[in-house]
Amino acid sequence: MGKHTSLYNVHAAAGARIVDFGGWDMPVDYGSQLDEHHQVRLDVGMFDVSHMTIVDLHGDRCRDFLRQLLANNVDRLQESGKALYTCMLNEDGGVIDDLIVYFMGHDWFRVVVNASTRDKDMAWITEHAKIFGIDVRERDDLAMIAVQGPKARERVHEALGSAPEDLKDMAPFYAHAVDDFFIARTGYTGEDGYEIMLPADQAAAFWNKLVALGVKPCGLGARDTLRLEAGMNLYGSDMDEHVTPLESALGWTVAWDPDDRNFIGRSRLEEQRKLKPSHKLVGVILEDKGVLRDHLKVFVDGLEAGEITSGSFSPTLGKAIGFARVPREADKNCTVEVRGKQLSARIVKPPFVRNGKPCL
């Protein structure tokens, strides 16, 4: 048996199909992954993402610490509640994890890291936090619910009763505290919505309130096809410690200025940037019928050139899509080997879908 979030009993009672996600027993769907996918694109759905790791960092030198720890620059965070997406790198420039960091106050930042990487992330953060005198506190007293879709914010405002005006006016990638809830306008679906961190003992009541307002529970299966359509990487599939952000379509998250901010992994990244990385991460749309899967071989001009890092079927496009790591020169067309056959595919720049609409 795996670990259970505070919403596990709610999922089980609703008839969710439960599978293992990095040591957690989580709902993969509540009946139909496709219906749940469309639900989020067209209306509103919600996900229990309490398995993700929330860590609070306290200390006067928090900002200095994060300037060193993260490849993106926390100096971009000057207003309370502002969020930033970034990679955390090792000395070789390899990606230890991707995460979101929130600016809470001058001596307090919050980071949300992946569930499957919890142990190594905590060890890495704690080790480097020491000399800055930072207090590292895991917040396993908090649950996290992602409410996503064009109607998501409206429903959450209703569920809160009297949503404050500054929440209603809040821009994307900002967060706001409402009583015990920390409400961030972020997500992993390509739709508008919130990720809400709240006391674990209040999670079931809030979840049920949202259900009563018509918000449909969705499993992590739909979350995966939604993020893939949205062109968002999955740690462990699309990048890991053996590749850099520059080889993972995440160059935009690396802050090179100022030159003297010596974040961990910087020197290796600088070298790679100068020489240009030999490989890149691209989007792939299968033109033939079939479904793309992780690790299928990709061929360019008839030669094996790389592999699919995330492959699935896009419910919105009705075609198989994926990401592939291929040589820098590859563009336009490739083939993917599926059960011994070469199927035609097109190399594209993600996202595939944003705000309910196909982009390609």
Partner 1 sequence: MSEVPDDLHYTKSHEWVRKQDDGSLTVGISAHAQDLLGDLVFVEVPEEGARFGSGDDCAVVESVKAASDVYCPVTGEVVAVNEQLADTPETVNQDPYGDGWIFKVKPDDEAAFGDLLTASAYAEMIAEDSH
In whole angstroms, give the CA distance from residue 122 to residue 44: 33
- For 100-121, give the DSSP string: EEEEEETTEEEEEE-STTHHHH
Stretch that binds partner 1, among 81-89, 263-271, 313-321, 347-355 (CB under 8 A): 313-321
Residue 8 corresponds to which tokens in the numbers above? 């596990």
Cβ contact 285:346 at 8 Å: yes
Please report, as residue ranges, which positions from 14 to 73 form the binding site for partner 1 (by CB under 8 A).
Answer: 17, 28-29, 32-35
Helix (H) or strand (E) holding 97: strand 95-105
Least separation in angstroms between residue 2's CB and partner 1 is: 18
Q: Which is nearer to partner 1, 248 or 335 (CB)?
A: 335
Q: Which is nearer to partner 1, 100 or 286 (CB)?
A: 286
Nearer to partner 1, 110 or 319 (CB): 319
Site map for partner 1, 255-294, x if CB under 8 A?
A: ----------------------------------xxx-x-
Does the footprint of partner 1 cover residue 225 (CB under 8 A)?
A: yes
Of 34 and 178, nearer to partner 1 (C-beta) is: 34
Q: Considering only CA atoms, which of 63, 56, 217, 236 is closest in space to residue 147?
A: 217
Nearer to partner 1, 95 or 320 (CB): 320
Number of amino acids touching partner 1 (CB under 8 A): 18
C-alpha distance across the termini of the chain, in Å = 42
Please state, in angstroms and rounded to a whole number, the distance separating the CA atoms of residues 336 and 344: 7
Of 6 and 314, which CB lies nearer to partner 1 in the complex structure? 314
Quote the least distance from Cβ 89 to partner 1, whole Å.
32
* Cα dihedral sign, 207-209-210-211: positive
Place of tokens 């699919």: 308
Site residues (CB under 8 A) for partner 1, limited to 164-193 = none
80-119: which residues touch partner 1 (CB under 8 A)?
none
Binding residue (CB under 8 A) for partner 1 from 93, 190, 221, 283 = 221
For partner 1, the closer CB: 81 or 217: 217
Q: Which of 47, 109, 174, 313 binds partner 1 (CB under 8 A)?
A: 313
Strand (E) or helix (H) holding 135: strand 135-138
5 interacts with partner 1 by CB under 8 A: no
Contact pick of 81, 315, 322, 351 for partner 1 (by CB under 8 A): 315
Q: Which stretch binds partner 1 (CB under 8 A): 54-62, 97-105, 130-138, 312-320?
A: 312-320
| Sequence-ordered strand ranges (E) for 160-302 | 175-178, 181-184, 193-199, 216-217, 279-286, 297-300
Q: Which of 274, 276, 332, 339 binds partner 1 (CB under 8 A)?
A: 339
Shortest Cβ 317–partner 1 spacing (Å): 11
Q: What is the rounded CA–CA span in Å between residue 20 and residue 206? A: 24
Long-range pairs of 335-341 with CB within 8 A, sequence gap ≥ 24:
335/298, 335/299, 335/302, 336/284, 336/286, 336/292, 336/296, 336/297, 336/298, 336/299, 336/308, 337/296, 337/297, 337/298, 337/299, 338/290, 338/292, 338/296
Only segment of 153-161, 162-170, 309-317, 326-334 that touches partner 1 (CB under 8 A): 309-317
How far is it, in rounded angstroms, from Cα 271 to Cα 311? 31
Closest CB to partner 1 among 22 and 59? 22
State the minimum distance, in angstroms, from the CB of residue 46 to partner 1: 19
Backbone angles phi and psi of 16, in degrees to 5:
-65, 150
Q: What is the binding site for partner 1 (CB under 8 A)?
A: 17, 28-29, 32-35, 221, 225, 289-291, 293, 312-313, 315, 320, 339
